[in-house]
Structure 1
Amino acid sequence: MKETPVPYKPKDEIKKLQEKKLQQLIQYLNTHSPFYKKLFVQHSIDISAVKTLADLIKLPITTKDDLQTNNADFLCVDKHRIIEYTATSGTLGSPVSIALTENDLQRLAYNEYNAFITADGTAKDIYQLMLTLDRQFMAGIAYYSGIRKMGGKIIRVGPGVPALQWECIARYEPTIIVAVPSFILKLIQHAGQHHIDINSTSVKKAVCIGENIRNAGCSLNILGKKITEAWNIQLYSTYASTEMQTAFTECSAGKGGHLQPELIIVELLDENNKPVPAHTEGEVTITTLGVEGMPLLRYKTGDVCMYFDEPCSCGRNTLRLSPLLGRKKQMIKFKGTTLYPAALFDLLNEIEEVHDYVVEVSTNEVGLDEVLLYIHTADESAESYHRIRSYIQAKLRVSPFIHYVSEEAIKEIQFHEASRKPIKFIDKRK
């Protein structure tokens, strides 16, 4: 008799599984992790007293600063057991190295296998990967490994170059694409310019990475609507980070990314590191399960989300995370208004004349946040510029500086030599 997959088990069974794995993790860290052994001593932690998920609050949190400052002390295995070195993108500071053992790579494949199954993938599907598989990008190897584990077929095209993407779609007939949503818009624009009937192609689904396609309540945002209004495909949102080595992926219900309970514990914490209730903003704080090389305990990601615990129509009994609402370190205080870059992205995506953009924040001469928008438009007339400025001011009630640039200039800003995806936010604050 086939065993019920973990996400479909009763909630009390899922909780017991997580608590067993939590106890194993704490023992492992106390034995093998230089960083956590020291942390437990500093805080006089009795690890035997941590038995349930409710006991997590007895443990100190770990921050991005800890991981950046003490990167090597998080390693729990001899260096000869490391198979691969990956690194964070450096969005919220200098990149952090994450070392993976053979077991970690197998876990990563299992994670993405689960993710693609959640997004209704099957062994019959052909996936076109429109993302980098180099530059220490963990997600790239995760997608590739997960599809292989599922038995699906893979087309590794890499990022960018819409013409090549469409050539491969015509030649290999993929059923699913994995791509950054804003790049999917560029595919649509290219198709329109070259008379490609996108709705007669083989592509039926898109697994969306790196950008929101939904609002806080999980309805499609402007970016998601623009894609689906032009292209009759099912979109699946994802949320992940290199540090957690795990993905939260939507099912077809589109009501948040499902937790993989055998791989990770997630808490959403307030400013005082206390858990928040469902439907309340909190900082995503993760505890990895089954990671061998560099496991993390109560690691605050800097990402702000909500969680949903109502039953899902797909039958999974797992907590779900909302789209990313913002990042703690990216919050902008501009002329008395609090903004997250994601809100600016949504606003700019609403404006038909805006083809591409970058948001830059810096510190002005009196120590306050200053916002500069680099915008590439279809229409470079003074009337168009005035309409864009007026629209932004009306929506934000404040007026950022706007610098209109060419398509070539915006690409130079978005892509530098080490970039793995287009940069939409630049933080130059002191």
Structure 2
Amino acid sequence: MIPEIETKSAAEIKAFQENQLQLMLAYLSKNSPFYKRHFETHQLYISEIQTLEDLTKIPVTTKDDLQQFNDDFICVPKSKIIDYVTTSGTLGDPVTYVLTDADLERLAYNEAISFACAGVSSDDTLQLMTTMDRRFMAGLAYFLGVRKLGAGIIRVGAGIPELQWDSILKFQPTYLIVVPSFLLKMIEYAQQHNIDLNASGIKGAICIGEAIRNEDFTLNTLGKKITEHWNIPLFSTYASTEMSTAFTECSSQQGGHLHPELIIAELLDEHNNPVKEGETGELTITTLGVEAMPLLRFKTGDMMTAHHESCVCGRNTLRLGPIAGRKKQMIKYKGTTLYPPAMQNVLNNFNELECFVIEISHNAIGTDEILIKIASHTPSEQLLGQIKDHFRAKLRVTPKLEWCDKKEIDALRFPKLSRKPILVIDKRK
């Protein structure tokens, strides 16, 4: 199930996207209060935007814009709105995002072709191990996509290894949709209850919300810890509420594929100019085919690298590498630039750690400080020394580490109304 446009040449894909861009610009200039004002303020004429390269003439849209002028992004009357979701608010106040019936159909199509990209077919059954409530778009998107693909779905929800295993053994799903670190809890439960992981019938896991690969696409520490016990392929997928689109790995597992009929992707530097090929930049997206809240040159805050060469799967679309980190969470620490995922990867090497949370703050002279609160069944100075040595070896610097009670860390990681664990607390102003 590869959409025909994804196997076209790079030139044909570009021409297709430029045609879709024209339709999108005309729609915004007619229906979007925010973008009408945006175009007028910056004296932009959409007739001047003919190519993808011309996009650089349009000032970017930021998360601050979405927060400040949320309702002005809505392009349809309230009577057409079918569903309301909110962003997770990881880097600021949550934003309301609305969808029409056509947007839900687009969302279903996106997930159907994304699952198919990872090898899922109508013959499969997927176990959904994330929430569908709390105004969370992802869980709904997965459900709609599986349904459109014609596959089966088991809506177990998040957490509770015993219930997850009960469903696996009873209904025999073939794929899991899961936050990868939770697979470690699934493995631990299976080992404690004599469940044969590799006889469970699971063919693969669609991994959401956490990185499982290094920049060269090899498995990172978390990915290795899962697969050394459970011999299943892990597929990365990257998405966000604002994009209403997913970048999912195919069987070659060399980055998440762009769907050119759904989204235009740019990687920009700090001056909002395109980065050179192979360089890391901030993903900036333009949605195609969205009815209620389309976005034009929206900066996601996520730093990554794009790969342009054709893929062995037959697709000729751009692929995105793993997220290096969020731009707002970049840390300058003792002369070294760090992102939290690199620190998480170091900490995941230690099975003795039950949980951790990374706190970023400014010190008295205004430079960045890092405090990592860690919990373990067996805290010791020896273990602390080993962790510090590993930080020095991998990242050249050692942040401050502090033993804490697991309950204290869990209270920080799971604040009230949170839909997913918080691993980074940024206290900088």
User: Which amino acid in structure 2 is aligned with residue 158 of structure 1?
Assistant: G
Residue aligning to 2:81 = 82
Q: Once the 2 structures are TM-superposed, how far is the Cα of residue 216 of structure 1 from its aligned partner?
A: 1.0
Listed one character per residue, the Cα deviations across residues 229-256 of structure 1 (whole Å, up to 9, x for unaligned) are: 1101011001111101100000010111
2:346 and 2:390 in contact (8 A); partners too: no
Out of 100-109 and 159-168, give the one that drifted further: 159-168
Residue aligning to 2:309 = 310
Residue aligning to 1:186 = 185
User: How far apart, in 2, do the equivalents of 1:33 and 1:383 lie?
Assistant: 59
Q: Once the 2 structures are TM-superposed, how far is the Cα of residue 86 of structure 1 from its aligned partner?
A: 0.8
Listed one character per residue, the Cα deviations across residues 15-47 of structure 1 (whole Å, up to 9, x for unaligned) are: 222111100000110001111111111111111
Residue aligning to 1:236 = 235
2:2 and 2:113 in contact (8 A); partners too: no
2:265 and 2:284 in contact (8 A); partners too: yes
Q: Once the 2 structures are TM-superposed, how far is the Cα of residue 394 of structure 1 from its aligned partner?
A: 4.6
User: Which amino acid in structure 1 is aligned with residue 412 of structure 2?
Assistant: I
Residue aligning to 1:342 = 341
1:115/1:357 CA distance change after superposition, 3 Å: same
Q: Once the 2 structures are TM-superposed, how far is the Cα of residue 193 of structure 1 from its aligned partner?
A: 2.4
Q: How does 1:23-422 map to 2 (within 5 A)?
A: 23-422=22-421
User: How far apart, in 1, do the equivalents of 2:302 and 2:95 lie?
Assistant: 16
Out of 273-282 and 253-262, give the one that drifted further: 273-282
Q: Which runs of 4+ in 1 moved over 6 A?
A: none
Q: Once the 2 structures are TM-superposed, how far is the Cα of residue 56 of structure 1 from its aligned partner?
A: 1.1
Local SS of the residue matching 2:348:
helix
Listed one character per residue, the Cα deviations across residues 329-372 of structure 1 (whole Å, up to 9, x for unaligned) are: 00112232221001101111122322321111122233222211
Q: Once the 2 structures are TM-superposed, how far is the Cα of residue 157 of structure 1 from its aligned partner?
A: 0.9
Local SS of the residue matching 2:182:
helix
User: How far apart, in 1, do the equivalents of 2:70 and 2:235 lie?
Assistant: 33
User: How far apart, in 2, do the equivalents of 1:214 and 1:76 lie?
Assistant: 38
User: How far apart, in 1, do the equivalents of 2:405 and 2:191 lie?
Assistant: 21
User: How far apart, in 2, do the equivalents of 1:371 and 1:3 lie?
Assistant: 45
2:2 and 2:117 in contact (8 A); partners too: no
User: Which amino acid in structure 1 is aligned with residue 409 of structure 2?
Assistant: I
User: Which amino acid in structure 2 is aligned with residue 197 of structure 1?
Assistant: D
Q: Once the 2 structures are TM-superposed, how far is the Cα of residue 189 of structure 1 from its aligned partner?
A: 1.8
Percent sequence identity over aligned pairs: 55
Out of 95-104 and 49-58, give the one that drifted further: 49-58
Listed one character per residue, the Cα deviations across residues 170-199 of structure 1 (whole Å, up to 9, x for unaligned) are: 111110001111111121122222222111
Q: TM-score normalized by structure 1?
A: 0.96
Q: Which runs of 5+ in 1 are unaligned?
A: none
Local SS of the residue matching 2:317:
coil
User: How far apart, in 2, do the equivalents of 1:356 and 1:192 lie?
Assistant: 20
User: How far apart, in 1, do the equivalents of 2:81 and 2:50 lie?
Assistant: 30
User: How far apart, in 2, do the equivalents of 1:352 and 1:420 lie?
Assistant: 25
Q: Once the 2 structures are TM-superposed, how far is the Cα of residue 395 of structure 1 from its aligned partner?
A: 3.8
Q: Once the 2 structures are TM-superposed, how far is the Cα of residue 4 of structure 1 from its aligned partner?
A: 5.8
Q: How many residues end up aligned between the 2 structures?
A: 429
